Structures are given as structure tokens and as C-alpha cells.
Amino acid sequence: MDGRRGVMARLARLIARWRPKARVKIDVLAAHPLASGLGVFVIEVDGRRTVLAAGSHAICVLAAYPAPRDVEPEGQRTATV
């Protein structure tokens, strides 16, 4: 059984090395603190906007919708993940 586990681990490492790394652009369009450790954020990922509520122990999706194409967001910060 140990021989199979070793072969599977080597195979998994080989597949992971060849797998292309995904690069996703995340735009933080707005951030508003509500209380200590609690805030609401609007982000844009791949042409979709998402409204998030984030606390110290959880993140919740409040809404998601397609981003308008003709509006340029003001003061955006971009992070690449």
C-alpha cells in the first residue's frame, strides 16, 4: 500500500507542476467599514461585481451581478491573485 501512495504523491506533484497557474484580476471598487472588524466591499472579478460583507471570522456574498460596461470606477485598487 505504501508503494502506491508514493507513486500517487509523485504523480500529483508532476501534474501540479504542469498545470497552468490561473491569474485573476480583482478590482476593489469600494470599501466601507461598519464597525470594528466588520465591513462591506464591492469587488469586480471577470466582469462580475460582487457585494461582500466581511467580519473577523466570516465573509458573506450579499449580491452578485454583471458589471456595467460603460462606467469607469473611481479610485479603484487592483490586486492580482
pLDDT interval class at 65 (50, 70, 90): very high
User: DSSP letters along 26-61, please?
Assistant: EEEEEEEEEETTEEEEEEEETTEEEEEEE-SS-EEE
Q: Which residues pair with 34 in a beta bridge?
A: none
Which pTM was predicted?
0.57
Among 65, 22, 58, which residue's Cα sits nearest to residue 43? Answer: 65
Q: Are strands 38-45 and 48-54 parallel, antiparallel or unpaired?
A: antiparallel
pLDDT score, position 1: 46
> pLDDT (tens digit, 9 = 90+) per residue, 2-60?
556 677 787 888 777 777 767 778 889 999 999 888 999 999 988 899 999 998 889 99
The whole-number pLDDT of residue 54 equals: 92
